[in-house]
Amino acid sequence: MRSEERVLGIVETARAKRPRFRDELVTMAHGAGGKASQTLIEGMLLPELGSAALAELGDAGAIEVDGVGMALTTDSFVVRPIRFPGGSIGELAVNGTVNDLAVSGARPLALTVSLVLEEGLPATELRAEVEAIAAAAEAAGVEVVAGDTKVVERGRCEKMYVCTTGAGRLDPRASLSTRAIEPGDRVLVSGPVGAHGTAIMLARDDLGLEAEVASDTRPLWPAVEAMLEEAGPHLRCLRDATRGGVASALNELARASGVAVQVGEGEVPVAPAVAAAAELLGIDPLYIANEGVLVAFVAPEGAAAALAALRSAPGCGEAAEIGAVLDEPPGMVFAETGFGGRRVMDLLAGDPLPRIC
Amino acid sequence: MRSEERVLGIVETARAKRPRFRDELVTMAHGAGGKASQTLIEGMLLPELGSAALAELGDAGAIEVDGVGMALTTDSFVVRPIRFPGGSIGELAVNGTVNDLAVSGARPLALTVSLVLEEGLPATELRAEVEAIAAAAEAAGVEVVAGDTKVVERGRCEKMYVCTTGAGRLDPRASLSTRAIEPGDRVLVSGPVGAHGTAIMLARDDLGLEAEVASDTRPLWPAVEAMLEEAGPHLRCLRDATRGGVASALNELARASGVAVQVGEGEVPVAPAVAAAAELLGIDPLYIANEGVLVAFVAPEGAAAALAALRSAPGCGEAAEIGAVLDEPPGMVFAETGFGGRRVMDLLAGDPLPRIC
């Protein structure tokens, strides 16, 4: 156990390190989920909007209505192209939002969908995405209860942007927080990493690579519910490893809890086609976006049960324990390489993969 | 009272008239709140996504969580320019969303904010909008509990698009429905119409007109709460008269309830500068968007109390009774002109004012 002073010291260090937003212009990097995004969020949005729910920096905000605990989350999707192997923007928008609820320990209940459409969009493409939204909502067990549609002039968006917001009921078995992670906790991932971002890159014309990689987009509530049932009290924190991949998720949580995270590079499941594409592109698969992979921090005594529960969930058969939590240096994530070495896995400064979600 | 068969007959007529979406391309008109929008919503989105909450065609969808009645609503804001006399996109996004909750009889509680930013946006402009969001949320008494930021390449949006989603608690004093309007009900508006759309038009460089018109953007929950307190059981339906203005709101509700609405043209409050600009532009102020004006349908015995309550609310001192509900022809709205004549006020087919919200 860390002493109270120790905890306060860490919190103060983290506070002192809150980044300031000093950039003069918004750049693509501010939307990429790395350091620039963090600076925008923590250096401008949080101080201005600062509610307790936002300051938690979770995937969803918690609210209480007449004693009922709920979670709300929102995401805009601007993925290019809108259709790719394994999914499309409509399916992604539903799964991305229900997953943010799921990793917050909330059963997804209802969605709202707001569309910004480009003038000239073929009606068939719109209909296909509306169908994809309906199918994904049904698969995830949520109802679309409100919507909005705007149209902007040709060129002022790219086919469509989709904003989905989800409401969920906080599950009483969960007590998750970005600040709850303790030294000794184990780190699990729910499946092979990097498929979504790789599929998007390959789907873009400009790369000239060909490989059979499909997005991993899927709803994660079944995986979360299985873990809650088998290891509920031992779960510290869950996160959907989307933009910036598993490495960025680990960095955000290491920082929020004031702990270090050590990952065994060889323990991380990566599909061979993803590994090959990532090597050609010179990108570490741990930094590539996923849309159906979560990271779980679990107390050591619950790790085996949580891993077994994860593996029983649809699409999570290859879940693995990939690392553990250390007490210092606070906020740092490092990988143990296969040769007994260590390397720091920091947040990326730049933007290797714009608009993957 | 209409007989049960009569009600069923009307519902069936309305159903039979559900428009089909036959257009090949999305056009600006599909986002304008008139006939083309209705065709898109009722001809494609509802049949595909069709939940009971959506089919109500209200400003917000109702959900029940552990016995607690809540409302959810979402809107994307793509207004051009982002700053205009009387407001800006950030303030509009908050007020627009809390107002959709308010007119659904729900006290606004929490908001989510999702930003799509254009690469190259000056940070000062972003900060100004984040501040506007924070100030408007505080004024409306809601907390921003979750957010998201995406960045798209230069030109792929125009400075910023803002999607706000609101959650509210349904007020037990309210029992509002788009289908509850009865012949004999009175129609109230909460203030002078057409200011927002006129302010936006004048703010655009391309018109060459000059007049002192400021947007009416404001939160409407205080007005709704005052009416609930003084005339709660008599309120049938409320609607925020945004895109398409008061005329479109009346059309949507006349159709949903299977009734006719008669408006006394001379009863509708219009500020002189708005009336003058509208005349120059050749647009009826009843079709111009508002961002702080609601339409209320009230049983005759509650109309005076509701009007007095409205007039006591901030910004609603010029609230007025503008018309009444007739039993037929179902779905029709008409204006009584000053000369004893009548003209039909149909939904507009086209798009006189793109991107006003």
Q: What percent of chain A has pLDDT over 70?
A: 93
The predicted structure's pLDDT at residue B312: 97
Distance of alpha carbon A54 from alpha carbon A74, whole angstroms: 12
- Residues in B touching A70 (Cβ below 8 Å): 65, 167
Question: Which of A21, A38, A42, A76 to mutate: most B Cβ within 10 Å?
Answer: A76
The predicted structure's pLDDT at residue B209: 67
B181-198: b (≥16 Cβ within 10 Å) or e: beeebbbbbbbbbbbbbb
- Residues in A touching B127 (Cβ below 8 Å): 44, 48
- Residues in B touching A76 (Cβ below 8 Å): 114-116, 148, 150, 161, 163
Q: What is the pLDDT of residues A238-278, one digit of tens each?
A: 999 999 999 999 999 999 999 999 999 999 999 999 999 99
Band the pLDDT of A53: cuts 50, 70, 90: confident
Report helix angle B221-231 to B303-311, nearest 10.
Answer: 140
| Residue of B114, B148, B153 lying closest to A28 (CB–CB) | B153
Helix (H, G, I), strand (E, B) or coil at A285: helix
CB B48 to CB A130 under 8 A? yes
Q: What is the pLDDT of residues A227-236, one digit of tens each?
A: 999 999 999 9
CA distances from B165 to A114, A189, A298, B98, B130 (A): 9, 31, 32, 9, 16
Backbone angles phi, psi at A143, to 5 degrees: -105, 140
A16 or A184, greater pLDDT: A184
| Residue of A66, A115, A131 lying closest to B68 (CB–CB) | A66
Minimum distance, in Å, between the CA of residue A155 and any CA atom of chain B: 6
Helix (H, G, I), strand (E, B) or coil at A298: strand
Token pair belonging to B344? 């039909």
Q: Is the pLDDT of residue A140 over 60?
A: yes
Mean pLDDT value across residues A296-311: 98
> Is A216 within 8 Å of A227 (Cβ atoms)?
no
Mean pLDDT value across residues A81-91: 96
Contacts of A271 (CB under 8 A, 6+ apart): A192, A194, A195, A213
Distance of alpha carbon B168 from alpha carbon B142, whole angstroms: 9
CB B70 to CB A65 under 8 A? yes
* Single pTM value for the model: 0.92
Band the pLDDT of A212: cuts 50, 70, 90: confident
CB B54 to CB A144 under 8 A? yes
Question: Which of A74, A94, A169 to mutate: most B Cβ within 10 Å?
Answer: A74
Q: Which amino acid makes up residue B356?
A: I
Residue linked to tokens 């923007």:
A89
| H/E stretch holding B149 | strand B143-152
Question: Which of B101, B112, B162 to mutate: most A Cβ within 10 Å?
Answer: B112
DSSP symbols for A53-76? HHHTT-SSEEEEETTEEEEEEEEE
What's the mean pLDDT when you consider all of chain A?
90
Band the pLDDT of A17: cuts 50, 70, 90: low
Question: Which of B161, B170, B351 to mutate: most A Cβ within 10 Å?
Answer: B161
Distance of alpha carbon A19 from alpha carbon A42, whole angstroms: 6
In this structure, chain B runs to a length of 357
Of the candidates A140, A133, A82, A87, the residue with the CA atom closest to the CA atom of residue A112: A133
Report helix angle A89-102 to A123-140, nearest 10.
Answer: 30
Contacts of A335 (CB under 8 A, 6+ apart): A262, A263, A264, A265, A286, A342, A343, A345
How many beta-carbon pairs under 8 angstroms link A with B? 280
Of the candidates A316, A311, A244, the residue with the CA atom closest to the CA atom of residue A283: A244
The predicted structure's pLDDT at residue A282: 87
Angle B14-B17-B23 (CA atoms, 0-180°, nearest 5)?
A: 140
Report helix angle B89-102 to B123-140, nearest 10.
Answer: 30
Give the ipTM of the model, two decimals please. 0.92
pLDDT along chain B (357 residues), means of 10: 32 54 92 87 88 77 91 96 96 97 96 97 96 96 95 96 97 92 98 96 75 92 97 96 95 95 96 93 92 98 98 97 96 89 87 80
The predicted structure's pLDDT at residue B307: 98
| H/E stretch holding A11 | helix A4-16
| Residue of B72, B130, B169 lying closest to A167 (CB–CB) | B72
CB B151 to CB A26 under 8 A? yes
A331 or A11, greater pLDDT: A331
CB A26 to CB B121 under 8 A? yes
DSSP symbols for A211-252? ----------HHHHHHHHHHHGGGEEEEEE--TTHHHHHHHH
